Amino acid sequence: MLAGPALHDSCVRTLAEWRPPNPDQDQLRQSYLDHLASQANGWSRHCRDAHLTASSLICAPSRRRLLLTLHARIGRWLQTGGHLESDDIDPAAAALREGTEESGLSPLRVDPDPLLLSRHSLICGGVATFHLDVQFLVIADDFRDLRLTAESRDLRWFDLDQLPDIDHSVSALVDAAAVRLGW
């Protein structure tokens, strides 16, 4: 089976089965599904106008801490994440891969049920592109082996009550994770 169609199908399945927490998130979910219905490669960075991405908010539940990266290009504190690759089996696997690559932490565990969706415009390959981000909760048990990559200026654990300056989308993601974790 070709990786592209299988990944496309798993993206559709993930979004179709997800129960959004509010009407705004349900509208986003439907717009993502409409995009995938109209674009066979709608999950791929090669789909220029818009494509899915997967991000991971890495949390350490026992310590009530979360990991954020100071993104080198964007210059803001964000969750880890990035583009889906053809060998990812679904968006959750992509979020787990991105979290591992960008943090150096292993093993990590991903909750396969998305936390939130976030649609934002970025320059991708020199073109303004909408990233249709599917955001996941990722759990870390090991805190020692953080590895800074070229994508980050800084990578740091934060206590839930001592977060750096973060934008509304990251704040909403942190709030959703706190609810799911019972913080």
What digits encode the pLDDT tens for the residues 18-65? 999 999 999 999 999 999 999 999 999 999 899 999 999 999 999 999
Entry pTM: 0.94
What percent of the chain clears pLDDT 70, i.e. is strictly above it?
A: 97
Q: Single out the residue of 19, 39, 47 nearest to residue 116, CA to CA.
A: 19
Structure tokens at 88: 């990812």
- Give the pLDDT of residue 124: 67
The residue ranking higher by pLDDT, 1 or 33, is 33
Domain 3-181: homologous superfamily in CATH: Nucleoside Triphosphate Pyrophosphohydrolase (3.90.79.10)
Angle in degrees, CA 64, 67, 73, rounded to 5: 155
What digits encode the pLDDT tens for the residues 152-183? 899 999 999 999 999 999 999 999 999 999 99
Q: What is the spatial distance between Cα 163 and Cα 166, in angstroms, rounded to a whole number?
A: 8
Sign, CA dihedral 140-122-129-125, equals negative
Q: Which residue has the tokens 């973060």?
A: 166
What digits encode the pLDDT tens for the residues 75-116? 899 999 999 999 999 999 999 999 999 999 989 999 999 999
Q: What is the spatial distance between Cα 132 and Cα 179, in angstroms, rounded to a whole number?
A: 23
